[in-house]
Amino acid sequence: MIQKTILVILAIMALSQSGYSQKKAATEAEINQKVEALLQKMTLEEKIGQLNQYTGDWEVTGPVTNSGNKVEDVRQGKIGSMLNVRGVKHTRALQEAAMQSRLKIPLLFGQDVIHGYRVTFPIPLAEAASWDLDIIEKSARIAATEASASGIHWTFAPMVDVARDPRWGRVMEGAGEDTYLGCLIAKARVKGFQGKGLGNLDAVMACAKHFAAYGAAIGGRDYNSVDMGLRTLWEVYLPPFKAAVDAGAATFMNSFNDINGIPATGNSYIQRDILKGKWGFKGFVVSDWGSIGEMIQHGYVKDNYEAAEAAIKAGSDMDMESRSYINNLSKLVKEGKVKEDLINDAVKRILYKKFELGLFDNPYRFSDEKRERQTLNKPEFLDAARDVARKSIVLLKNENQLLPLSKELKSVALIGPLVKSEKDMQGFWSIDWGKEDHLISLFEGMKNQAGKTRLLYAKGCEISDTSRAGFTEALKAASEAEVVVMAMGEKYDMSGEAKSRANIHLPGVQEELIRAIQATGKPVVVLLMAGRPLVFNWTADHVPAIVYTWWLGSQAGNAIADVLYGNYNPSGKLPMTFPRSEGQIPIYYNYFNTGRPAQNDQDTHYRSGYIDMQKSPRFAFGYGLSYTTFEYGDLKLSADKMTGNEKISVSFTLRNTGKTAGEEVAQLYLRDMVAQPVRPVKELKAFQKVLLKPGESKTITFTIDKEKLSFYNDNLEWITQPGEFKIMIGGSSDGTKLEQSFSLVD
């Protein structure tokens, strides 16, 4: 009898499962049917209206063109989407205007929800330093939960541009220099934003940007040209975008730069051949702000008429702010320059998403004032922001275990231009909530935990002016304290869009102030708050404790105090190489060996390096310290040869050899010793973040398969070549502890 029951249950489960997948497939077919039916009713002008996106006035994220009456345009179906419209009240009002249009097609509302909406999380580069994919996904999930409750359907994130040049201000917005880490973070962020799938009330459309290779702008100058071989494009810059497609990203945004002379927004190789062709992307592509019209400045087209033609043919579906489509597409169709099918394809991609979001069933489903009030700024979101912030902090130096600070200290002097700053803690691409916001400064965070310790304060200097007038007061504060903690770095808008810097040293007279305070002989801790790697050689050489805190968001001060007092043992690892000088840039860990590799920093005799500076970086990719120490040992490979589709498992022991529990990011790098074309001296291929108690050890296992050995040859074929491979394992790209080789036989 029991057996029969089990069979019946299994049958019901199978039916329901197939029913579910049929239901899901039906949903896709159903939506496509609805899209086709609606498209048949649309005039050419109404179709073009869906491809047109204007900005609202709540945020300014590009050069604003004020023209006409946007609400009236919405009523006439001339706008398909708006960005920078904040809050349920305003999105509802504009949606009501859209419902007065002939076909009542709802608007899509987009916003740069890059690292939080109402609660600000650490900037994406800081989160990347956590190497913790779960908290990165959670951060995006919370951002989506808040934004969707505030009428937003679509975030222009994640930015997945690999970036090897810290002069480029937008490094703050991405995941750093490594393709492998970048792919995993792209997937985590897309999953975080889209949650259980579009149509859920707490899901927003993700937007992988900026397609493509925007981070390779020559000289780190924003919007500048990109000039690279196709192999580098495919191997280094495209994979995070492919990871976003595989994770189901609903939309893409193209980039301002040209790639080898062809602006991305007019580049059918990347948008049609690769994205919509080879990768089968079904979503839609929005141009970056005005980039369609900017093809005129590029010198790629003569006017907006030609720009519209080039862009729609190249696969740019929606025109953000350039007005090229709304003013020219109709004429292009009537003059036979553009087939209406191209417009139909773009419209269908956009309408599909509006149906998928449930906006045709209820255009106001994301515009519920009660839900907005109940969702934004929840205490648990602030707690999560504090946790993500702690885990993003990187300990760069800690001589004589100066950190963590003891609560028994009688006095601590807090000195520097960023000690009391709140706005700077938010970083670029954050939303300014003005007086209603409460950002925790370092000063407040220290006050919350200092207990009986007396906190002294002196600003000492400004972030970037040349006055030394504040030094005296700062020296006085230092003289009265047992320990000095300095908060130095960039203003919140010194990294970000259009914020490239030729000089990435600590700005102003900050390093002079550090030298003056260090000269007092007091123990000094320097906190560096910035959106990018900075150059601070004197500080790195002379100050005993240095902590890179990036821009950590709403809970910055509390998170930093958690680390300074040891409530949390810092575990971050650098997602970008830190140069000793701008002269070393571009500098990254996965370089080619060359025919004359310098054997060490002193080796300059006919070697690849500099005669006036070390070749090595100041701090390497993957580097970061802890309050405890870790030991790597017992490296074992399941085989020393790999044939066919076999895999090799790599295991080793990681032990906490210190007195404090701590997390280590154990990293596995691979080198293909001989290959044509040549391969980098090392490439990150696996990592695991492990929490260990004092004395505890754990066996960690990674699997090496052929995919990890593969690369593009000059014909852009994804291949492997037989030969020797070297495995390197450790807690930093320049600090591998274990090495062993194996060979790929075929």
State the catalytic residues.
Answer: 288
Minimum separation from the CB atom of position 736 to ligand GLC (A): 36
**DSSP code per residue over 286-351:** EPPTTTTTTHHHHTS-SSHHHHHHHHHHHT--BEES--HHHHHHHHHHHTTSS-HHHHHHHHHHHH
Q: Between 161 and 663, name the residue whose CB sits nearer to ligand GLC.
A: 161
Q: Nearest to residue 103, comparing CAs of 31, 37, 41?
A: 41
Q: What are the Cα distances from residue 723, in Å, to 29, 594, 672, 674, 726? A: 49, 19, 8, 7, 10
User: How many Å apart are CA 184 and CA 135, to the nearest integer?
Assistant: 12
Minimum separation from the CB atom of position 235 to ligand GLC (A): 24
Q: Between 289 and 443, name the residue whose CB sits nearer to ligand GLC.
A: 289
Minimum separation from the CB atom of position 498 to ligand GLC (A): 8
- DSSP, res 243: H
Q: Does 424 bind ligand GLC (CB under 6 A)?
A: no
Minimum separation from the CB atom of position 81 to ligand GLC (A): 11
Q: Between 174 and 557, name the residue whose CB sits nearer to ligand GLC.
A: 174
Q: Return the residue of 62, 248, 544, 723 that touches ligand GLC, per CB under 6 A.
A: 62
Minimum separation from the CB atom of position 170 to ligand GLC (A): 8
- Cis previous bond, 677, omega within 30: yes
Site residue total, ligand GLC (CB under 6 A): 9
Q: What are the Cα distances from residue 311, in Å, to 64, 270, 296, 343, 704? A: 21, 12, 12, 11, 42
Determine what percent of the chain falls in helix, strand and coil, rounding each to the nearest 5: 35, 20, 45
Q: Nearest to residue 377, comparing CAs of 548, 685, 196, 142?
A: 142
Are 161 and 213 a contacting pair, CB within 8 Å? yes
The neighbour count for residue 653, using CB atoms within 10 Å, is 15
Q: Return the residue of 156, 284, 565, 652 that touches ligand GLC, per CB under 6 A.
A: 156
Minimum separation from the CB atom of position 85 to ligand GLC (A): 12
Residue nearest to ligand GLC (CB): 61
Beta bridge mates, 319: 52
Q: Between 289 and 492, name the residue whose CB sits nearer to ligand GLC.
A: 289
Within residues 74-133, the interface with ligand GLC by CB under 6 A covers 83, 112
What tokens appear for 594 in the block? 């060359």
User: How many Å apart are CA 178 and CA 164, to the nearest integer?
Assistant: 8
Q: Nearest to residue 650, comparing CAs of 536, 561, 739?
A: 739
Strands (DSSP E) found in 550-661: 630-637, 641-642, 648-656
Interaction pattern, residues 446-485, with ligand GLC; x per rule: CB under 6 A: ----------------------------------------
Please state whether beta strands 262-263 and 258-259 pair in parallel, antiparallel, or not at all (unpaired). Answer: antiparallel
Q: Between 418 and 431, name the residue whose CB sits nearer to ligand GLC.
A: 431
Helix (H/G/I), strand (E/B), else coil: 680? coil
Interaction pattern, residues 194-213, with ligand GLC; x per rule: CB under 6 A: ---------------x----
Q: Nearest to residue 191, comparing CAs of 175, 177, 171, 205?
A: 205
The stretches of 639-683 forming alpha helices (DSSP H) are none
What tokens appear for 631 in the block? 């030991």
The neighbour count for residue 479, using CB atoms within 10 Å, is 14
Minimum separation from the CB atom of position 156 to ligand GLC (A): 3
Counting Cβ atoms within 10 Å, is residue 537 exposed (0-12), middle (13-18) or buried (19+)?
middle
Phi, psi for 663 (deg, rounded to 5): -110, 140
Q: Between 498 and 745, name the residue whose CB sits nearer to ligand GLC.
A: 498
Q: Between 169 and 617, name the residue whose CB sits nearer to ligand GLC.
A: 169
The stretches of 357-415 forming alpha helices (DSSP H) are 369-375, 379-392
Phi, psi for 251 (deg, rounded to 5): -140, 165
Are 81 and 319 a contacting pair, CB within 8 Å? no
Counting Cβ atoms within 10 Å, is residue 590 exposed (0-12), middle (13-18) or buried (19+)?
buried
Q: Return the residue of 497, 562, 663, 664 that touches ligand GLC, per CB under 6 A.
A: 497
Q: Does 61 bind ligand GLC (CB under 6 A)?
A: yes
What tokens appear for 119 in the block? 């609660």
Minimum separation from the CB atom of position 255 to ligand GLC (A): 8
Q: Between 114 and 475, name the residue whose CB sits nearer to ligand GLC.
A: 114
Phi, psi for 686 (deg, rounded to 5): -170, 155
Minimum separation from the CB atom of position 60 to ligand GLC (A): 9
Q: Between 158 and 363, name the residue whose CB sits nearer to ligand GLC.
A: 158
Minimum separation from the CB atom of position 222 to ligand GLC (A): 9
3-state secondary structure 52-102: EEEECCCCCCCCCCCCCCHHHHHHCCCCCEEECCCCHHHHHHHHHHHCCCC
Q: Between 82 and 403, name the residue whose CB sits nearer to ligand GLC.
A: 82
Minimum separation from the CB atom of position 289 to ligand GLC (A): 4
Within residues 240-299, the interface with ligand GLC by CB under 6 A covers 288-289
User: How many Å apart are CA 169 and CA 172, to the nearest integer?
Assistant: 7
Are 312 and 329 a contacting pair, CB within 8 Å? yes
Q: Between 322 and 398, name the residue whose CB sits nearer to ligand GLC.
A: 322
Q: Between 289 and 578, name the residue whose CB sits nearer to ligand GLC.
A: 289
Minimum separation from the CB atom of position 40 to ligand GLC (A): 32
Q: Which residues bind ligand GLC (CB under 6 A)?
A: 61-62, 83, 112, 156, 209, 288-289, 497
